Structure 1
Amino acid sequence: MIKSKSKTLVAIYALIMLLFLVDGYNCKIVQFIFGDSLSDVGNNNYLSKSLARANLPWYGIDFDNGLPNGRFSNGRTVADIIGDSMGLPRPPAFLDPNLNEDLVLKNGVNYASGGGGILNETGSFFVQRLSLYKQIELFQGTQVLIRAKIGDTEADKFFQEARYVVALGSNDFINNYLMPIYSDSWTYNDNSFIQYMMGIFREQLILLHGLGARQLMVFGLGPMGCIPLQRVLSSSGDCQDRTNKLALSFNQASTQLLDDLSSTLPNASFRFGDAYDVVNDLITNPNKYGFSNSDSPCCSFGKIRPALTCVPASILCKDRSKYVFWDEYHPSDSANQLIATELIKKFGFKPVNETESPSPAPSMAPSADGN
């Protein structure tokens, strides 16, 4: 009799544990990130032929162990910071060899790729990069694995409860339309090119909705004509006005697209995150926000401009926390923190999971040159 009761208790315990484990797959909301170098957390480091990789010092100098980690910054991305504030785990790079189904269920996935764009042809100069269509294709593959792991019903719930971030577009202008080596530069004018982009973008967002994306945020473009790489093209060092106007037009068209899709696609909550004014004010009035430089990169190759990426021989600015831009393209950790904070306030992002303990904001160490 005692043995019988013992076996019964063991069976009940095993059943409870099994139910707990199955339910555990659905207890946490994760995020799936699609983007370019502003959101890449290491995918391009696994693309051996890519010319757009953040795999050299001094990238990552203010992140965890200070070693390059695939982020095109000295520290965190805007997506890192916003996700942390919402209690969302930081999703690993899709191409990380350690990624498996359990990690996807626990942390989500980041498909972002430096040099990638909405258009397939964008960024071909970099040889290897993942366009948005390719990122969505990889997401489809992820879904196959998760459905095999937990079944269709639980997978539908998992993917529909997840948060989605889509943040691309700047490369479609800077590394496509505005460069005469690309056919798009002479095939379209400013208005028709944006219309062409929006047609493709609509198809991609509808495809994501069909794959379960219900709560999706598209982040708009900042004043990309004011990044150091664009300023150096001008003899005066001023922002490129045409490039900034293209960013504004893209944001306006994207806002209309998201409003339309959100009102027509079933159960869709598609939002557009317009950070143009926030970033523009930061660049125009850096002292207002505690910065001292908003027109040149912290990590540069002396007087040689533009040095497209940070390299071990680069010279770092004396105080990384005072520079808006880390390299010729990308904001510093301090700038990303300010941008993310303003977006959190603007859009009222709320925690969706119990907040864990993410990597803290970095304490800027002395520059590599000793200053």
Structure 2
Amino acid sequence: MKGGLFVVGLLVAALVGAVAASTEAVRRPVVPAMFVLGDSTLDVGNNNHLPGKDVPRANQPFYGVDFPGSAIATGRFSNGYNIADFIARYLGFEKSPLAYLVLKSRNYLIPSALTRGVSYASAGAGILDSTSAGNSIPLSKQVRYFAATKAEMEAVAGRGNVSRLLARSFFLLGVGSNDLFQSTATTQGDVIALYTTLISNYTAAINDLYVMGARKFGVISVSPLGCVPAVRVLNVTGACNDAMNQIAMGFTATLKSALAGLAQKLPCLAYSLGDSFAALETNFSNPQAAGYVSVDSACCGSGRLGAEGGYCTRNSKLCADHDAYVYWDWIHATQRAAELGAQALFNEGPAQVTAPISFGQLADER
């Protein structure tokens, strides 16, 4: 039996080497795997496997109504693909890697981890453990799940093979919005203290991933939180909340500085910070240019701005053209908006919204 396991190990190791070299992969991905950590903008089903009545889940219509190949709710807070899916497609995969808890339930974690990657993202997750406590998988726990995955990968494929795979893999991170949404910081001093705590925890998580072998980090900043329908509806005019947007922009600026500092201290670390605020700003100022008819309302919702009923449900009212809206529900983007967002992250031209390099350039780093 031990000899059989040894042979299986050799076969898996050979598979890892082939995928890492991108010589045998049918779709020829530019990276061997993609590992995703973050919140609902990236979640592909982890929350469907969390217990509790207050856990946010996208497990019912009309979520997934436009999902390619099957119009069912998939755990994505979207009418179809989310931005993790489109980033994965740019990297050469069919879509985002499957959710960690889904893979564990199917006993398929290691085959996926070695050939496609894993998604640990969880709706409601924050950088802080206290954010959405008990109703999501916080960033720190997502990192621990990755550590457990790495240990299982090494047991099957060997430490050296896994080390080489992880060094070339793409680590996608997008978290922080829920921390800012739930913050009670009002004074400048409170906001600075919040930034300090968030950045300390965020960089600690990135450092932990680096120590475990990650080298390529594609980081998506927080979006214009003051412009989501859930916030706009609180204003009698439906305008954006400028104060909340200022906090979001300040956090992104602080994160940008922190990542530059990490890159100076950690050899071979490469990163790209995608500015979601800048990417969406042009949409708000000139929606017609991107083909939008609405940048302030939810396509799936109820009441004013489609934002008074909360999440999208089977009882919600749907807009006629899903691609003509930036927001699918009161907080989350439509599939079309996610596609354009991913496109902007990979854009290496004059409209680049990433620094210091694009996601595409990051993927090609050796």
Shorter-chain TM-score range: 0.7 to 0.9
Q: Partner of 1:129: helix, strand, or coil?
A: coil
- Residue 351 (structure 1) shift: 9.9
The one-letter code matched in structure 2 to 1:256 is S
- Correspondence for 2:13 among 14, 22, 29: 22
Query: Quick one: distance in 1 between partners of 2:286 and 2:190?
Result: 32
Query: Quick one: distance in 2 between partners of 1:348 and 1:70?
Result: 25
Q: Partner of 1:25: helix, strand, or coil?
A: helix
Question: Are 1:301 and 1:314, in contact at CA under 8 Å, matched by a contact in 2?
Answer: yes
Q: Partner of 2:160: helix, strand, or coil?
A: helix
Query: Quick one: distance in 2 between partners of 1:185 and 1:138?
Result: 34
Question: Are 1:261 and 1:270, in contact at CA under 8 Å, matched by a contact in 2?
Answer: no
Q: 1:215 to 1:190 in 2, by over 3 A?
A: same
Q: Partner of 2:17: helix, strand, or coil?
A: coil
1:230-249 aligned within 5 A: 230-249=231-250
Confirm whether residue 55 of structure 1 aligns to residue 59 of structure 2. yes
User: Partner of 2:47 in structure 1?
Assistant: 44
Query: For residues 75-130 of structure 1, what are the alpha-carbon distances to aligned partners after superposition, in whole Å with 9 as ceiling and x for unaligned?
Result: 11112112201214531000002232112212100000000010111123xx4200
User: Partner of 1:323 in structure 2?
Assistant: 325
- Correspondence for 2:168 among 130, 145, 161: 161
Query: For residues 254-276 of structure 1, what are the alpha-carbon distances to aligned partners after superposition, in whole Å with 9 as ceiling and x for unaligned?
Result: 11111111111021112211131
User: Partner of 2:97 in structure 1?
Assistant: 91
Q: 1:117 to 1:177 in 2, by over 3 A?
A: same
- Of stretches 165-174 and 152-161 in structure 1, the one that deviates more from structure 2 is 152-161
- Residue 27 (structure 1) shift: 2.6
- Of stretches 34-43 and 333-342 in structure 1, the one that deviates more from structure 2 is 333-342
Question: Are 1:37 and 1:72, in contact at CA under 8 Å, matched by a contact in 2?
Answer: yes
User: Partner of 2:258 in structure 1?
Assistant: 257
Q: Partner of 1:271: helix, strand, or coil?
A: strand
- Residue 22 (structure 1) shift: 2.8
- Residue 308 (structure 1) shift: 1.5
Question: Are 1:75 and 1:332, in contact at CA under 8 Å, matched by a contact in 2?
Answer: yes
The one-letter code matched in structure 1 to 2:98 is P
Q: Tell me the TM-score normalized by structure 2.
A: 0.85
Q: Partner of 2:279: helix, strand, or coil?
A: helix
Query: Quick one: distance in 2 between partners of 1:295 and 1:107?
Result: 36
Question: Are 1:218 and 1:271, in contact at CA under 8 Å, matched by a contact in 2?
Answer: yes
Identity rate, percent: 31
Q: Which runs of 5+ in 1 are unaligned?
A: 1-14, 179-183, 354-371
- Correspondence for 1:131 among 128, 134, 138: 138
1:272-311 aligned within 5 A: 272-303=273-304, 305-311=307-313
- Residue 48 (structure 1) shift: 2.5
Question: Are 1:228 and 1:329, in contact at CA under 8 Å, matched by a contact in 2?
Answer: yes
- Residue 162 (structure 1) shift: 1.2
Q: 1:193 to 1:351 in 2, by over 3 A?
A: closer
User: Partner of 2:224 in structure 1?
Assistant: 223
Query: For residues 211-255 of structure 1, what are the alpha-carbon distances to aligned partners after superposition, in whole Å with 9 as ceiling and x for unaligned?
Result: 111011111112111000110111221100111001111110111
Confirm whether residue 198 of structure 1 aligns to residue 199 of structure 2. yes
- Residue 21 (structure 1) shift: 5.0
- Residue 185 (structure 1) shift: 7.1
The one-letter code matched in structure 2 to 1:309 is Y
The one-letter code matched in structure 2 to 1:57 is P
Question: Are 1:300 and 1:314, in contact at CA under 8 Å, matched by a contact in 2?
Answer: yes
Q: Partner of 2:213: helix, strand, or coil?
A: coil
Query: Quick one: distance in 2 between partners of 1:34 and 1:57?
Result: 25
User: Partner of 1:100 in structure 2?
Assistant: 109
Query: Quick one: distance in 2 between partners of 1:160 and 1:114?
Result: 27
Query: Quick one: distance in 1 between partners of 2:323 and 2:152?
Result: 42
- Residue 281 (structure 1) shift: 1.4
Question: Are 1:30 and 1:106, in contact at CA under 8 Å, matched by a contact in 2?
Answer: yes
Q: CA RMSD in A?
A: 2.3
- Residue 305 (structure 1) shift: 4.1
Q: 1:187 to 1:131 in 2, by over 3 A?
A: farther
Q: 1:228 to 1:24 in 2, by over 3 A?
A: same
Count of matched residue positions in the alignment of Structure 1 and Structure 2: 331
Query: Quick one: distance in 1 between partners of 2:169 and 2:362?
Result: 13
